[in-house]
Structure 1
């Protein structure tokens, strides 16, 4: 096999492996609805940051509260907080993301 073909094949393999790792996400499914959100005292706004509100995480067979925190702003984007959605008889966590 010519060296140029080997280099092309190697570059394609590296790209495929790198892009697969970039989009990997853990899917969280819970058997019951999360409790109502807790009331949080949001700290005063900070320049260059967006508030990510607290939410219930599902771990080890139960819900655990994850308090809100500041996210560094991505210029030209807005923060979409994570949320739970009904998925058949279960509930699925949709992680927060920049849009």
Structure 2
């Protein structure tokens, strides 16, 4: 009985954790990215990862880009805004 109860509590915690991470946040209009100067590459072969939007406190906030080490056999795909029936949503960039 105790092990079943522990299992149910554990599953509910995991389900709550994953459901809170998977949200899509729509806005009526896309925010404008702030201007900032890209710093000089810190070493040869560095890959620039462009800035990203993230949802915080009822709206999107911008995080500046950064230099990263290249990943062998992979390319960085930039994040982008997509328009849907409920407004605009940000799709994060990723390594492919």
Q: Same fold (TM over 0.5)?
A: yes
Change (3 A) 1:27 1:38: same
Q: Unpaired runs of 5+ in structure 2?
A: 1-17
- Residue aligning to 1:92: 89
User: TM-score, normalising length from structure 2?
Assistant: 0.62
Of structures 1 and 2, the larger Rg is shown by 1
Aligned length: 76
Q: Unpaired runs of 5+ in structure 1?
A: 1-20
**Cα RMSD between the aligned structures?**
2.2
Deviation >3 Å, runs of 4+: none
User: TM-score, normalising length from structure 1?
Assistant: 0.61
Cα distance in 2, alignment partners of residues 39 and 31 from structure 1:
21
1:1-99 equivalent positions in 2, closer than 5 A: 26-45=22-41, 46-99=43-96
